[in-house]
């Protein structure tokens, strides 16, 4: 994995490497351009965590996502006290384990 100093640096770097679409968390799935990707339909290939220097609510994680149909993009989510609500199954999937 590449080391990025900032959240925007990670997003820009991933975009330059072909992760061009934006994924959003749906109910137990990822959503992109109207398409839903269930937990088994995507892989997390990289992730980068960022912590705010003074504000714990500034914690974020950037995931590099590859879907089984070849769509490559990113998901930006909070973690810690700023984490979004999600199912236990999705939380396990986003607890990254390299392939």
pLDDT score at 81: 44
The pLDDT value recorded for residue 64 is: 95
pLDDT given for residue 10 in this prediction? 96
Between these two residues, 99 and 47, which has the higher pLDDT value?
47
Q: Taking the domains of the chain in order of start, what are their residue ranges?
A: 7-94
Cα Rg of the chain, angstroms: 13
**Interval 46-96: pLDDT, tens:** 999 888 665 555 688 899 999 999 999 999 987 654 455 566 777 777 775
Distance in angstroms (rounded) separating the CA atoms of residues 18 and 59: 25
């Amino acid at each position: 994995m590449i080391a990025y100093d900032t959240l925007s640096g990670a997003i820009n770097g991933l975009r330059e490497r072909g992760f061009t679409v934006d994924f959003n968390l749906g109910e137990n799935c990822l959503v992109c351009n109207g398409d839903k990707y269930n937990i088994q339909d995507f892989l997390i290939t990289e992730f980068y965590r960022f912590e705010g220097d003074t504000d714990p609510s500034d914690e974020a994680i950037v995931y590099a996502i590859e879907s089984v149909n070849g769509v490559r993009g990113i998901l930006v989510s909070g973690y810690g006290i700023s984490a979004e609500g999600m199912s236990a199954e999705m939380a396990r999937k986003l607890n990254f384990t390299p392939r």
